[in-house]
């Protein structure tokens, strides 16, 4: 069933995606409102306060953002020949993973920050083989910086941009300087605002505390969560191995883009050590590359019964985790 759906007419897939997403997100409308307060996230705090007494609109906004970023992510993949243009499987898997737990289905920081990661990824892919990519680099790093104002550990993803420089051989000093300028621009505006409101000393101290008193601690996970992420990890290993085994048949640019997706996983692991109380939410960053690799693997399987079993396993373990058995 799933195999046929994601190889059928594009409009039918889109309708299926929207309907299933709405069904998945029905529960949050009747759940207790939850408020999150991530450290050093001024734009997230702004949105949170704006919709403080409007639980319905908070869920609507979160749902629309998730659906929109899944489609942008799919377009990023197809426009770079990473997945077939007529399949929405990567978008579907992304929504499914981002809706794995009740706490994810809310106005939580990663709903916003992942949006900026996906946009910057799309922009950075366009820099390959260009003689001058100054504008794209500035915008990409500006987006990363803007995303860190919704979830501060995203600031470490400037390193991800620099790793793309190395992968794409963007080694001119101007590109590196522009990336720094793009990143600090938002913070120049932010600290100017803090200075004008006479709040700069307290804010600078909160950033100092973040870097000097980071306490990495893995929370206690229920058995259903451990099983869910273990199976996702196994899926990723098989998916990456399958992709890697066919790399020699693909173009150099394709290979470099696969390395970029792998670097996204590595920098997510690194930044995980700075997630503090948001360890679980930070795992949402893994869902960007995971949904790509797993979708790519499932679409390449030629035997129908094998792909159907894997689809059912993925969806079954999601149901098991989401319902908290």
Using the CB atoms, write b or e for 149-173: b if 16+ within 10 Å: bbbbbbbbbbebbbbbbebbebeee
3-state secondary structure of 275: coil
Count of all residues that appear for the chain in the document: 325
Q: Helix axis angle, 252-271 relative to 158-167, nearest 10°? A: 150
Measure CA 256 to chain center.
19
The domain limits of the chain are 2-322
Distance CA 41, CA 39 (A): 6
pLDDT for res 36: 77
Residue-level pLDDT, tens digit, the chain, 325 residues: 776 777 778 888 899 899 999 998 988 877 767 767 787 889 998 888 888 778 888 889 999 999 999 999 999 999 998 888 888 999 999 999 999 887 788 888 999 999 999 999 999 999 887 778 899 999 999 999 999 999 999 999 999 999 999 999 888 889 999 999 999 999 999 999 998 988 888 888 888 888 877 766 777 777 878 888 888 989 999 999 988 888 888 888 899 999 999 999 999 999 988 888 788 889 999 999 999 999 999 888 888 788 888 888 888 888 877 776 5
pLDDT for res 102: 73
For residue 11, count other CB atoms closer than 10 A to its CB. Answer: 8
Measure CA 308 to chain center.
26
Distance CA 66, CA 97 (A): 11
This prediction's pTM: 0.93
pLDDT for res 324: 62
Please check whether residue 44 is in contact with residue 150, taking contact to mean a CB–CB distance below 8 angstroms: yes
Distance CA 51, CA 56 (A): 9
Using the CB atoms, write b or e for 289-306: b if 16+ within 10 Å: bbbbbbbbbbbebeeeee
pLDDT for res 135: 92
């Amino acid at each position: 069933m799933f195999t046929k759906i994601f190889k059928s007419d594009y409009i039918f897939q889109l309708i299926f995606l929207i309907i299933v997403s709405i069904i998945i997100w029905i529960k949050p409308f009747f759940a207790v409102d939850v408020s999150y307060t991530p450290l050093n996230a001024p734009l997230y705090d702004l949105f949170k306060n704006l919709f403080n007494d409007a639980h319905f609109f908070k869920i609507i906004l979160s749902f629309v953002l998730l659906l929109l970023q899944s489609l942008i992510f799919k377009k990023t993949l197809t426009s770079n020949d990473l997945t077939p243009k007529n399949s929405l499987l990567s978008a579907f898997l992304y929504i499914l993973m981002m809706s794995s737990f009740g706490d994810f289905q809310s106005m939580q920081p990663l709903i916003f920050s992942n949006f900026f990661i996906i946009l910057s990824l799309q922009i950075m892919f366009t820099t390959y083989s260009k003689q001058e990519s100054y504008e794209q680099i500035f915008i990409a790093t500006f987006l990363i910086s803007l995303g860190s104002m919704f979830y501060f550990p995203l600031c470490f993803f400037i390193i991800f941009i620099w790793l793309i420089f190395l992968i794409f051989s963007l080694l001119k000093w101007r590109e590196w300087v522009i990336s720094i300028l793009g990143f600090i621009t938002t913070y120049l505006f932010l600290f100017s605002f803090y200075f004008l409101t006479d709040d700069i000393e307290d804010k600078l101290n909160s950033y100092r505390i973040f870097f000097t008193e980071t306490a990495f601690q893995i929370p206690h996970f229920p058995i259903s969560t451990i099983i869910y992420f273990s199976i996702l990890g196994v899926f990723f290993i098989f998916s990456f191995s399958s992709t890697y085994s066919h790399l020699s048949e693909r173009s150099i640019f394709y290979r470099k883009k696969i390395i970029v997706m792998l670097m996204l996983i590595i920098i997510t692991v690194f930044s995980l050590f700075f997630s503090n109380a948001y360890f679980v939410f930070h795992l949402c960053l893994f869902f960007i590359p995971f949904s790509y690799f797993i979708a790519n693997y499932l679409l390449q399987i030629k035997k129908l019964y094998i792909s159907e079993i894997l689809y059912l396993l993925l969806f079954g373990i999601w149901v098991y985790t989401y319902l908290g058995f």
